[in-house]
Amino acid sequence: MAYVIVGSCVNDAACVDACPVDCIHPAPGEAAFSGTDMLYIDPDLCVDCNACAEACPIGAVMPAIKLPVEWQRYREINAAYAREHRR
């Protein structure tokens, strides 16, 4: 099912600290962090623990099945980032 970061993300990165499986990127300290438009969750690594959603100060992380219509496209965008950057 996985979680999805949506377009209101402000790169606070509290989710990165909370994630137990390091599936949110770019993380602070990675070269891509400073210029990124937002952060992305790798849906294949996400373990649905909800920690990121709780950590996000503005509610910009949501379960994929509960995405409101205006954020639907972000499911594929998160997945696309992960595909391109999987190490």
Partner 1 sequence: MSTAPLRVAIVGAGPAGLYAATELLKRDDRAKVDLYERLPTPGGLARAGVSPDHAVRREVIEVYERLAMASGRYRFRGNVEIGRHLSPAELGAAYHAVIYASGAASDRRLGIPGEDLPGSHAATDFVAWYNAHPDAADRTFDLGGERAVVIGNGNVALDVARMLLLGPERLARTDVADHALQALRGSRVREVVILGRRGAAQAAFTAPELMELDLLDDIDVVVESAGDLATADLDFNRTLRMQRIGEYARRAAMGRPKRLVLRFLHSPVAIVGDDRVRGLRVVENRLLRREDGQWRAEPGDTVAEIATHLVFRAVGYRGAPIEGLPFDERRGVVPNERGRVSPGCYVTGWIKRGPSGVIGSNKVCAQETVRALLEDFRAARLDAPQHSPQQLERRLRERQPEVVDYRGWKAIDASERAAGLEQQRPRVRYSTVERMLRATRPAQNAS
Question: Residue 13: left if φ>0, alpha if ψ -120 to 50, beta else—which one?
Answer: left
Q: Of 2, 9, 24, 79, which one interacts with partner 1 (CB under 8 A)?
A: 9
Q: How far is the CB of 11 from partner 1 (least distance, A)?
A: 3
User: Min. distance of Cβ 17 from partner 1 in angstroms?
Assistant: 10
Peptide bond connecting 26 to the previous residue in cis, omega within 30 degrees of 0: yes
Using CA atoms, how far apart are residues 31 and 75, in angstroms rounded to an integer?
24
* Under rule CB under 8 A, residue 80 binds partner 1: yes
At 13, the amino acid letter reads A
Chain residues binding partner 1 by CB under 8 A are 6-13, 28, 32-38, 57-60, 70, 73, 77, 80-81, 84-85
